Every structure is written in C-alpha cells, then in structure tokens.
Homo-oligomer: A and B are copies of this chain.
Amino acid sequence: MEKVESYYLYGGWQEVWSHSSETLDCSMKFAIYLPEQAKEKKLPVLYYLSGLTCTEQNVMTKSGIQRYASEQGVIIVMPDTSPRGEQVADSPDYDLGQGAGFYVNATQSPWNKHYQMYHYILNELPHLIENNFPVTGKKSIMGHSMGGHGALVLALKNPEKYVSVSAFSPIVSPSSVAWGEKAFGHYLGENKQDWKKYDAVNLILEGNSVEHILVDQGLADNFYQSQLKTELLENACKQMNVNIDVRYHQNYDHSYYFIASFIEDHVRYHSERLNASLSQ
C-alpha cells in the first residue's frame, strides 16, 4: 500500500492510497479523509460510493464532505468505481466497463476476471482500512447515483455490517432502467433472475430490510424519470414497512452541486447512528 496524494484540510488529512487488490486483480486507488480526532482515537467510517465515470477524486474535490467529517469525527473512505488498468476489460461507453463497475460481482466473460466490485467494497477494502487506519470497525455507507445503488444493495444484503445507509439520486432499480439493463446484461448475463440480488427495490420486496433509509433526489435531475425512478423505492419501502425518508428538492440536478448542498445532513445522519451504536 502506498500513499500517492496527501492534503491538509479542515484540520485533517485527505489522502489517496494505491494498493494491489486481490479481489479485482489490479492496482486500485482509494481516498480517505482522516479528521483531526483520528490522531487521538479510533473513529467510525462512512464509505462513499461514487457514480458513473467517477474516480475517488470527484467526491474528494467537489463535495465538501471533509468539513462535516471533521465536525462529526468520522473517517470517510471514497473508493474508485471499477477495476482499472490496461489489462482490465473496458468499453468505449461511459456506462460500461472502467468507471462503471456497478458494485456487482460479474459472472460473464470478459468482465468476470476483474469486475468484482461487490466483494471489493464489502470485504477487501474494509479489511484493508481496518488493518491500516485508526478505525473502530463500525461503518456506514452512502453513495451517489450508481453509487447510491451500490450503497443500498450492500446495506440491504448486509444489514449486520452497516450501521446506516443513505443515497443521493440513487439508481433504485437497475433491472428496470437502461443503465442497469445494459450493465447487468454484460456483467451478469441475460438471465434476469441473476440481476435481482443487485436491485434494491427487488431486495426490499423480497424481505430485505434496514432500520432506516435516507434519500435525497433533485427534481431537475435529467436522469430522475428515466434512470433513477425514486418512487419505485418509496413504494417498495411502503409496501414492506421499511422506514425511508425521501426528500425531493426543486431545481437541484444530478451534479456535485446538489451533493455539496445537502451532504452535511448525510454525514450528521450517519454520525448520529455510528455514535449511538458505539455507546451501546
């Protein structure tokens, strides 16, 4: 593991690390923000999963999340969105291949050799973080767009591993929209039964649950009607008695300007739950 970038902000350190991933069979980067409190004690971790085309850089440069992590005493881990490298299968499309891992374990060639992002985020990366940084072991997860999908699926399938979950503009049912149909078709094959375990709406309808979900969605988001379909998640939660707060916001779009405007609420949301769980 090698530190490749380091910046001081809000009294803490924003670092980028490179490491060799066994799960993904390639070199990967992740960003981590260590607030000042991490010098003196172990802190809980909030994982932030990014959306299509992103690397670890987008959220660390554009969201302002570090200010709130610093105020709340939470470490933020910001992974990349897919395996990377010349030897890793790719496509010329922004929504398939590198930058578009969709947080699944691919089963189809050529994708299955490297595209194991579900395992990477669930197991390998937390293991690495817990062995190398001052963390308590308590963790929560959030994400944006494709990363919102990833966060919801990871939490719904592993409620014992994540204290809390939230999302900005998530793809709530990839099986039902063009982005997901394309990616899942390539990564998981044509049998749509195999897609269901990576579809948050389906997971909820099948009885998976978490204590609470927080979602923010902009009403001027170009992808809201076609790719995100937030109401599918709301309806599934209602039907299955899963607690959810979906906040719709006039004028806000799909960009990091939307995220920056409300990310304080998400960091506080997770911090309250991570700290409550610490004191139990």
Interface residues of A (CB under 8 A from B): 7-11, 14, 61-62, 64, 66-67, 218, 220, 251-253, 255-258, 260-261
Q: Is A7 a contact partner of B257 (Cβ separation < 8 A)?
A: yes
* Cα–Cα, bound, A272→B20 (Å): 51
Q: Which residue of B lies closest to A252 (CB)?
A: B8
Q: Do residues A8 and B220 form an inter-chain contact, with CB atoms below 8 A? A: yes
- B8–A256 CB distance below 8 A: no
Interface centre among A8, A253, A258 (most CB of B within 10 A): A8
With the chains together, A257 CA to B220 CA distance in Å?
29
Contacts A61-B61, A62-B61, A62-B62 given; does A253 touch B7 at CB 8 Å: yes
Copy number in the complex reads: 2
Q: How far is the CA of A100 from the CA of B7 in the complex (A)?
A: 25
A71 shortest CB reach to chain B, Å: 12
Could you tell me if A64 and B61 are in contact, using CB atoms closer than 8 angstroms? Answer: no
> Which residues of chain B are within 8 angstroms of A256 by Cβ–Cβ distance?
61
Main DSSP-derived SS at the A contact region: mixed
Is there an interface contact between B257 and A9, defined as CB atoms closer than 8 Å? yes
- CB–CB A260/B62 < 8 A: no
Residues of B within 8 A of A9 (CB): 252, 257-258, 260-261
Give which listed residue, B8, B218, B253, B255, contacts A257 with CB less than 8 A: B8
Contact: A14 with B257, CB < 8 Å? yes
A75 to chain B, nearest CB (A): 17
* Distance of A249 Cα from B256 Cα, bound (Å): 28
Select A8's contact among B7, B64, B66, B251, beta carbons within 8 Å: B251
Among candidates B61, B62, B64, B218, residue contacting A67 with C-beta atoms closer than 8 Å: B64
Q: Which of A9, A218, A256, A260 has most chain B Cβ within 10 Å?
A: A9
Contact of A261 among B10, B62, B257 (CB under 8 A): B10
Cα(A8)–Cα(B258), bound, Å? 7
Task: Looking at the assembled complex, report how far the CB atom of A152 sits from the nearest CB atom of chain B, in whole angstroms.
Answer: 24
Q: Which 9 A-B pairs have the closest CB atoms?
A: A9-B257, A8-B251, A7-B257, A64-B64, A9-B261, A10-B261, A8-B252, A61-B62, A7-B255
